[in-house]
Chain A
Amino acid sequence: MPTALDILAVLLILANLRLLGSSRLAACIRAVALQAVILGAAALLVNLSDLDVRVVIIAVASTGLKAGALPWLLRRAIRESGAVNEIEPFIGFTASLLVGVGLLGLCFLIGSPLSAHVAAESGLLITVSLFTTATGLLVIVSRRKAVTQVLGYLAMENGIYAFGMAFAIQEPLLVEMGVLLDVFVAVFVMGITIYNISREFDHIDTDRLSALRD
């Protein structure tokens, strides 16, 4: 199913751009959750010829975790901290979109030589996985709110997951579950941290934490 995979890849790019261009935290969370759903569907599509229980379990578990549990945690963090919008990011939303297009071009340049080494149908997936990772990095460095930075981290993880999928790396089940658990614990801890930061300082703008004195 090369076309369906292409459409999923394009949807993944659009979800990335939504993450870059949206100021509403809830919309950003939905974009990252959508990425996880797309990746789950793509994981099933890539392995459609030899679908076994292991693949299905991993796809369903990671999708459920990244599209269900983690967004729920982050929504809770938003509710507790009362932050609705990302206000005055270091790189504006329109500028972020333009930087995103630049990054996409760069990823096409880097991705095409890599695509030659894998099956043709997942060629676009490599470019997109690189772009998703780059988007996550961009979001981490350009936003003030702790929630958005966690979302950037999740987007990066999604990108790495897509990269592994494109190369059809058959990691053992244990490693994949370990990575998932890591992400879960990390986001869980970050959720608690966000809650505590907002309770202490009435906001979750991380750049102002650097000016703290005791």
Chain B
Amino acid sequence: MPIAAIIQVLLALLLAPLLPGVINRVKAFFAGRCGPPLLQPYYDILKLLRKGAVYSRTTSWVFRAGPVLGLAAAMVSLTVLPLGGTPAALAFHGDLLLFAYLLGLMRFVTMTAALDTGSAFEGMGASREAWFAMLAEPALLLGLAAMAVHTGSLSLSGMLDGLALADIRGPGAPLLLLVAVAFTIVLLTENARIPVDDPNTHLELTMIHEVMVLDHGGVDFGFIQYAACLKLWALAALLTGVLLPPPGGWPPANMALGVALILAVAVMVGVIESVMARLKLVRVPQLLVAASVLSALALALVLR
């Protein structure tokens, strides 16, 4: 296993909490506020890790396993993602399916933990999560399938080799554009950002992700927050690492460029959240179907 692949996983583990910090600073800039410190997510997670956890008597081991398994799934998903032209640590034939299902596993344990509390409110959140995730999954998988056919590789790292710089200007341009828009919508959905879910609202009737983790506290909640940061990093890495061909240069410079691109995705999410309102809950499925349609269109373009 090359040392660069290990470094990029460590970079992801270290820098992931920076992304919500960047998003919050961008939103604060648009609102004319100072905003929280860039490192605020680190402080939050460290504070939570020092606390003890309280468990309701109605919960079982499922509730305790949720945050741990979710964090583990998020960490493993980082090992199949390439960054800045460096192949992933665990690149193998078909790892794109592993990536999609690790995201699925993470969602599943969060939902079962929410259902385990027996709270109707959390059950409602879990139901919405399942409904939206079910619609977002075709967009992700069809987009990955289009990329796989286009590059002739079933591995996320292999897709990088199949892409050339000329592709952006050449015949691959419409395809890459469609998949990029679809993946952006998937990223916003999976990470519970505006226009699908508003991360700032607590105890509102339309929220999705926050409602599922209401009963977690202390270390468990720290794990959940850290896992959410890693998930954001993973999908941003998917967007920038797989769709943009490697620049081909000095490896550390490539790696720095990859990290900069991921931070740029965080800035983009911040801008989207600042200029858009959350969609009505009944309109969200329409957005997700549109994302799937874009991916299907991309697939049709490569198969033609």
Report which of B171, B174, B293, B301 forms a contact with A97, defined as CB distance below 8 A.
B293
Inter-chain CA distance A101–B177, complex, in Å, is 18
Report which of B170, B171, B285, B304 forms a contact with A108, defined as CB distance below 8 A.
B304
Q: Which chain B residues border A6 with CB–CB below 8 Å?
A: 171, 173-174
B60 close to chain A: CB less than 8 A: no
Interface bits A106-124 vs B (CB < 8 Å: 1, else 0)? 0010001000000000001
Report which of B286, B293, B301 forms a contact with A10, defined as CB distance below 8 A.
B301
B293:A93 contact, CB within 8 angstroms: no
Report which of B177, B293, B304 forms a contact with A17, defined as CB distance below 8 A.
B293
Q: By the criterion of a CB under 8 Å from any partner CB, how many residues of chain B are at the interface?
A: 19
Inter-chain CA distance A112–B300, complex, in Å, is 12
A164 close to chain B: CB less than 8 A: no
Q: Which chain A residues border B286 with CB–CB below 8 Å?
A: 21, 93-94, 97
Q: Which chain B residues border A97 with CB–CB below 8 Å?
A: 286, 289-290, 293
Contact A104:B304 (CB < 8 A) given known A6-B171, A6-B174, A10-B174: no
Report which of A3, A21, A93 forms a contact with B171, defined as CB distance below 8 A.
A3
A13:B297 contact, CB within 8 angstroms: yes
A89 close to chain B: CB less than 8 A: no
Q: Which chain B residues border A94 with CB–CB below 8 Å?
A: 285-286, 289
A192 close to chain B: CB less than 8 A: no
Q: By the criterion of a CB under 8 Å from any partner CB, how many residues of chain A are at the interface?
A: 22
Inter-chain CA distance A21–B290, complex, in Å, is 8
A98 close to chain B: CB less than 8 A: yes
B174:A101 contact, CB within 8 angstroms: no
Inter-chain CA distance A203–B201, complex, in Å, is 40
A105:B300 contact, CB within 8 angstroms: yes
B300:A7 contact, CB within 8 angstroms: no
Dominant secondary structure at the A interface: helix
B178 close to chain A: CB less than 8 A: yes
Report which of A3, A13, A98, A105 forms a contact with B289, defined as CB distance below 8 A.
A98
Q: Which chain B residues border A71 with CB–CB below 8 Å?
A: none
List B residues 281-304 near A (Cβ within 8 Å).
Answer: 285-286, 289-290, 293-294, 296-297, 300-301, 303-304
Kindly provide the distance from the CB of B176 to the nearest chain A CB, expressed in whole angstroms: 11
A82 close to chain B: CB less than 8 A: no
Kindly provide the distance from the CB of B146 to the nearest chain A CB, expressed in whole angstroms: 13
List B residues 145-170 near A (Cβ within 8 Å).
Answer: 169-170
Kindly provide the distance from the CB of B289 to the nearest chain A CB, expressed in whole angstroms: 5
A3:B304 contact, CB within 8 angstroms: no
| Nearest opposing residue in chain A for B304, CB measure | A108
Inter-chain CA distance A17–B178, complex, in Å, is 13
Kindly provide the distance from the CB of A126 to the nearest chain B CB, expressed in whole angstroms: 11
A100 close to chain B: CB less than 8 A: yes
Q: Which chain B residues border A68 with CB–CB below 8 Å?
A: none
Q: Which chain B residues border A13 with CB–CB below 8 Å?
A: 297
Inter-chain CA distance A78–B296, complex, in Å, is 34
B171:A100 contact, CB within 8 angstroms: no
Kindly provide the distance from the CB of B277 to the nearest chain A CB, expressed in whole angstroms: 16
Contact A10:B290 (CB < 8 A) given known A3-B170, A94-B285, A112-B304: no
Known: A6-B174, A13-B297. 12 other contacts (CB 8 A): A3-B169, A3-B174, A10-B297, A10-B301, A14-B294, A17-B290, A21-B290, A97-B290, A104-B300, A105-B300, A108-B300, A124-B304
A-B contact pairs, 12 of them (CB 8 A): A3-B171, A3-B174, A10-B177, A13-B297, A17-B293, A21-B286, A97-B286, A100-B293, A101-B293, A108-B300, A112-B304, A127-B304
